Structure 1
């Protein structure tokens, strides 16, 4: 089995090989003094030859990069060049040419360009050899190319849908940003409402405590009112409802009072009389006692 090698090829052989696979139709003077546009076209065609499906991904990458710039129209060429440089550098590194640099793309040198194109031609030879080895296997599946074409068409369709979706997303971006702002405002409003709700709950709790205290006072006042009503009822039962009865009662009390005073006066008079009598008896007793004492002395 042969292995990949990278000997430097003559310019005529390079021109023939590139034309045979459809990469480019060159002239000897093109390679004698290569331009940046020429090598960019050559490398782009080579990448399309080596990886037919890679072009769509490059478009996606370029589109994503342009989104990040303020004036994307001013940077289209630069981004396209940078993407090409990234792709061709990676491709050449994979086929053992690791010294590719940006100068080889924007200010190509004749000798360096021939070395790079020789590497590419060597890869083309190696690739064709391997494909020829696989051809018998491919021939066993005659519908392979048709199946591959269908898959490539579906992939292209999907890539187009992705691109359309990306474009639609970009068009809807202002509306999405506006909705994000509105959602942010709504969240802030909800947060403010939550704070107000907590404040209202605190106020409601304080009001409930005040209400409970007032209810307690009202209950106590009701109790006192009932108690006073009972006392008033008792007092009312003692109040004479008829003035005549009250007058008669007062007259009876006055008459009773007069009788009491008269009795008291009579009693005092009787006491005085008895006191006088007692004094007389006392004097008589003293005299008798003295007289008795004299008689005993005789």
Structure 2
């Protein structure tokens, strides 16, 4: 059932519910002829099962009993009154149309007893169904609560780490400022270094050009040297190794030169002679 409602359970249903949920073992005859001790014990078992009565409910406040002349004679009465107040409180909470009285406990009536037992067990079944439905949700909420605790613990740890980080940051701030100042100084030197780099590149280009010119000159000199070597080799091949042969060759060349000069003088003399003859003929005939 999804909603707690009346009428309450029948006598057979009461017996079955008590047996199925292992609350108590009773018979229909016990309910037809209820006696105070049986009913008190049955109500006690039911209230303990639904967690409405502590298991040590039999403990009596002896300090309160001392106010009576004969405390021992009132122990059972105090227990009965405590149980009565618990049952009446539960019946009132169930918004039951009938009021539970002390007479229902010490001189139970069959119909009223079945009505109140049925009402309480009907509430128990209703709560049991709700608990089965809400059980997974409760477990999930419990798990979420545990996760929340874990997350809160983790958050606390992270906050502690953040605080430690902030403290470390404050301690290292002077060093950071010093590094920032150094970085700023270095950045200011970058343009100067760039200009110096450009100057070096220009110098390197000039050096490369000079090196290229030197390479060309060296190549030209090597070529000239090679030609000179060839000429020297040619000249060496023309050099006569024997001095006598050289002397004879020079003598022959000198003789040839003398003969050439003599022939030249003879030719010049012949030219002058012919010129003189030509001049004579010119004067005579013209």
Q: TM-score range by the shorter chain?
A: 0.3 to 0.5
Structure with bigger gyration radius: 2
Q: TM-score, normalised by structure 2?
A: 0.45
Q: TM-score, normalised by structure 1?
A: 0.44
